Amino acid sequence: MTAPQRKRVAVIGAGASGLAAVKECLDAKDQIDVVCFEAEPKIGGLWRFVEPTAENKDPHSSVYRSTIINTSKELMTYSDLPIPYDWPTYLPNKKVVEYFEMYTDHFGLTDHIRFNTRVVEVKELKDENNRWLVRSRPNKPATTADGTTDETTTEEVFDYVMMCSGHHWKPRYPTFEGMEGPEAYTGEQMHSHFYREPSRFKGKNVLIVGLGNSAVDLAVELSMNDCQVYLSARRGNWVVPRWLMGKPLDHNVTRFTHMAPLSVMQAFLTMSLRLSTAPHHPNHRPAMKPLAMHPTINTLLPERITTGTVKPLKNIKKLGPGKRVEFEGGDVVDDVDVVIYCTGYDISFPTLDPNIVTGGRPGAEKTNEVWTWNYMVPPRHPNLAFVGLFQPLGAIMPISEMQCRFLVGTLTGKLPPLPSVDKMEAEIKKLQSQITKRYGKAPRHTIQVDYAPYCDKLAKSIGCYPGFGSLVAKYGLFKGLSLWHEAIWGPPCPVQYRLVGPGLWAGARESVWAYAKKGPVPPPAKKETQSEAALEV
C-alpha cells in the first residue's frame, strides 16, 4: 500500500511565531514537509536588534537596544523547552533571542529555514486542492559578471501556508495640523520604529506622542539621558508596574480569576493598582477601567514624572510654526527639538491580496480590522493561516505555539476539520462584537486576546487542557490534584499544556513545580516530543 504523499507547508518568517510553526510541523514530519522563508540572515524576527544602516534604513525589527519584555519568563516560554529557571524574570531582548536560538538548536529547526530569502508574493492558485504559489528571491540580489543585479525569483507550490511575519513593522502615523506645509513644525519628526538608543538625543527637548509601552519606555530612557521629555496622549491609560502585590504582574492573573465576571476582575485590579502604585497624573488619568484597554507596563514612569524630567500633556492641538507645539487644554511648548510618534503599527501583509486579510470589507485595511476565524484562518481560504496575528494580554510565544499545534492537528487529520465558511463568519462577527463592547472601536484593539482563556479553548480542542479528570487519570489522585490546584490557582504557565494529551512531555510535571519554586529543575525536552507521548495517549 502506497503511503500518502506528505503535504508541503510554507512558513513565512522565522521569528517567535515562525519557529513554533516549523517545530510543530516537524513533529508531524511523517505527514508534512515544511519550508520556512526568512528574509534576514538570522532567526529572531522582530525581537532581534538591528541597527538602521545606509543600505537598510527601514529594518523589519522595531526593537531598541534597551527593550525588555513585559511578560515573565514563566509565561512567555514555549511549552516543551522551558526558559532556564535561573534566567531573569523579565528578559532583555538579547536574552529573548538567545532563547529562540536555544529552541532552534534543540529541535533542529535550522535545516528547514531558508535565510536571506524574501517572499515577494503568496498567491492562491484556486485549483481543486486550494494550493498556493510562493514567489521568493534572495534578500540581497547577487551581482553578475557584467555588473548587473540578478533578481531572479523562484516559484514553488505549497499545499498550505502559515503567515508568521508579524504585524509590528509598518509604522502608523497620526495626523496633526502643522506636520507639514509652509507653517509646519521645523524640528525632527520620527516614529518609534526607527528609535534605537538615546545618545543622539542628549540634552534635547523631546516630545513623545502616545502612552503605550514603547512611548513610556522611551520617555523614561530619554529622561535619564539629560533630556526634558514631554509625554502627550490622546487619552489616559493604566500604567502598571512589572511587579504587583509581591509577584510578577502576570502571575496575579490565574485561571481562577478568569472564572470571575469581568466587572469583578476590574474592581479587584482597580483597588490593587490604587493601593500599590502612584496616582496617575491628571492629564493621563485612565479613561476606562482595567482590562478595557491594553495596559502600559512600566515601573519607573511615576518617579520620572515626580522629578519633572517627564511632563505629561494632553493631545497635540497644533505643531509649528518653528519648534512650537500647542496642546489641548492650553499648554504650549516653544522649543521642542524632536517629536517621536509612538502611535503603533498598521496591519499589513504586502505579499498577499489585501482582501484575504480583511474579508474584502471596504475601509477595513485602514482601521486594522482583519477577517480571521479564531484569530487564524480566513474563512474562504482554509489552506492559509495567520499565526501571531493578535494583540495579547500576555506573551505572543505560547499563544502562537498553541495556534500551530491546533493548525497542524487539523492539517494532518488528527483533529476535526474546520467549521463551514458560514459558521466561521458567524463566529468572527460575534468575536468582533465582543471586542468592540469591551474595548471600543480603536485600531489598537481590533485583534485583542486574553492569553489563558484563548489557549485553554484551543487546548480543549487539541486534548491537552490540564483539567482535573485528565490530570488525575494520568498522575493519580494526589499528584493529579496538586497539579490541578496549581493550574487553577497558580499562573497558567505554558508547560501545563504538556502534562496530558498529544505532545505530552515527561518533564512537564517537574517543570511546573520548578517554575512554582516547589521542585527540582527537570531535564530539557527531547527533540522527539511526539513519539513516546503519542503512544501513551
313-345: per-residue pLDDT in tens? 999 999 999 999 999 999 999 999 999 999 999
Contact in structure between 333 and 324 (CB atoms under 8 Å): yes
Burial of residue 272 (number of CB atoms within 10 Å: 0-12, 13-18, 19+): middle
Other C-beta atoms within 10 Å of 174: how many?
13
- Residue from 29, 42, 28, 23 nearest 80 by CA: 23
- pTM (2 d.p.): 0.93
Contact in structure between 170 and 345 (CB atoms under 8 Å): yes
Contact in structure between 45 and 14 (CB atoms under 8 Å): yes
Q: What is the mean pLDDT of the chain?
A: 91
102-147: per-residue pLDDT in tens? 999 999 999 999 999 999 999 999 888 899 999 999 987 666 566 6
Place of cell 514603547: 214
- Residue from 482, 513, 71, 404 nearest 249 by CA: 71
265-316: per-residue pLDDT in tens? 889 888 888 888 888 898 998 888 888 888 899 999 999 999 999 999 999 9
Residue 1 has pLDDT above 50, yes or no: no
Amino acid 447 reads: I
Q: pLDDT tier at 61 (50, 70, 90 boundaries)?
A: confident
pLDDT of 14 reads 97
Mean pLDDT computed over 201-211: 97
DSSP label at 370?
A: -
Q: What string of DSSP letters covers 78-91?
A: -TTSPPPTTS-SS-
Q: From CA 192, how far away is CA 340, in angstroms rounded? A: 6
Place of cell 496538586: 482
